[in-house]
Amino acid sequence: MESLFQRQLHEMDRKKREDMLHQIQRILSDRVIFAPIWENGFIRAYGPRVEEAGLTLITAFPYSGPLEDVRLKK
């Protein structure tokens, strides 16, 4: 890949440079391992005035459930 990169630097023909660049990109994409890491960063909380929090009323919903279902203490 290094030699290909060096040849691409010295090549004057635009089409050949483009072909070499695509070849370099293919080599790099074949060698790279991609592991997506995702962390749910939602801040969820409820205070002492809430009788039943709506955080788990809808399965896999990251926010508080429907506001109509959130009950406050009297």
| Tokens representing residue 52 in the block | 């039943």
pLDDT of 45: 73
Give the structural domain span for 24: 2-31
Domain contains 23: yes
| Tokens representing residue 19 in the block | 């072909």
Shortest CA distance to 68 belongs to which of 55, 54, 58, 50? 54
State the Cα–Cα distance between residues 22 and 26, nearest whole angstrom: 6
Domain contains 69: yes
Domain contains 38: no
**Mind listing the pLDDT tens digit for each residue in 1-30?**
789 889 988 999 999 999 999 999 999 988
Domain contains 8: yes
Domain contains 37: no
pTM of the model: 0.44
Residue 72 DSSP one-character state: E
Please give the residue that has the higher pLDDT: either 3 or 62. 3
Q: How far is CA 35 from CA 22, 25, 26, 38, 52, in A?
A: 23, 19, 18, 10, 38
**Looking at the 3D structure of the chain, how many domains does it have?**
2
